[in-house]
Amino acid sequence: MSPVIECADLCVDFGATRILHDVSLRLHHGQALAMVGESGSGKSMTTKAILQILPKGAKTSGFVRFEGREVLAMRPAELRAYRGSDVSIIFQDPKAHINPVRTIGEFLTETLRDGGARRAEARRRAAAALGDVGLAAPEEKLDQYPHEFSGGMLQRVMIASVVLAQPKVILADEPTTALDVTTQAEVMSILKDLRERTGMAMLLITHDLELATATCDTISVMNSGRILETQSEAAFEANPSHPYSRQLAAARPSVDRRADRLPTVTWRFGDEATEGAEA
């Protein structure tokens, strides 16, 4: 089966400084791939290169392919469609990515309205998406502003925007780092359920090996802008092959099997939303 996203020999340079060195990865439909590494190892640069949202001055070489199409050769309109409906991204800090002076409803319905949906229909779908991610009283929430939401609630809003976009791939860049451990487990549970319902692939960026092995089926370890190894989660657990990966694994607080490691969350899509679930 051909991958939905493939990077080959991907390099990113800022002037004479190389940030990514020949990064190669393959993400298949339905797969959950974790890219694990310490701060500054190049994880976020990889996702930004995949989406072509790199900071000014960055020069990309190599290949990024989405379903066989060359992303680096896409024209602006094609790139907009790729970012808008093929691949979605959620970040560590949703506050930084939601306009504070626009309502949650305006944020969620913008793309639907641009696609031709009437206002009432767009609001109905946005409210349904908020309900899907466990937010109570979704119609009322459409008229609220981001500052009225907690970090966990805003991350659910971001995931609701993914529900509406129905992409083939979600890039989740440290999506739970800013959240408490229970909310972290709830957000990961929502993402898992979304993936199971839609077959969406996920690239999870994290410094947390524990979270990576508990939620993903494939593990890539990154250091200094290079991928050191990629293995299935089970093979990685049994035998991390690179010395750096072995250090990472040894530094983990727990060696229990994955089912025991995250707080148990029994949340499923469409569950009745409760205020208690809105941390």
Ligand X SMILES: Nc1ncnc2c1ncn2[C@@H]1O[C@H](COP(=O)(O)OP(=O)(O)OP(=O)(O)O)[C@@H](O)[C@H]1O
Closest approach of ligand X to the CB of residue 196, in Å: 27
Q: What is the contact surface with ligand X in residues (CB under 6 A)?
A: 14, 19, 37, 39-45, 55, 207
Closest approach of ligand X to the CB of residue 220, in Å: 12
Closest approach of ligand X to the CB of residue 32, in Å: 18
Nearest to 249 by CA among 258, 261, 240: 240
Among residues 13 and 271, whose Cβ is nearest to ligand X? 13
Closest approach of ligand X to the CB of residue 92, in Å: 8
Among residues 39 and 266, whose Cβ is nearest to ligand X? 39
Closest approach of ligand X to the CB of residue 56, in Å: 8
Among residues 46 and 109, whose Cβ is nearest to ligand X? 46
Among residues 39 and 264, whose Cβ is nearest to ligand X? 39
Among residues 14 and 269, whose Cβ is nearest to ligand X? 14
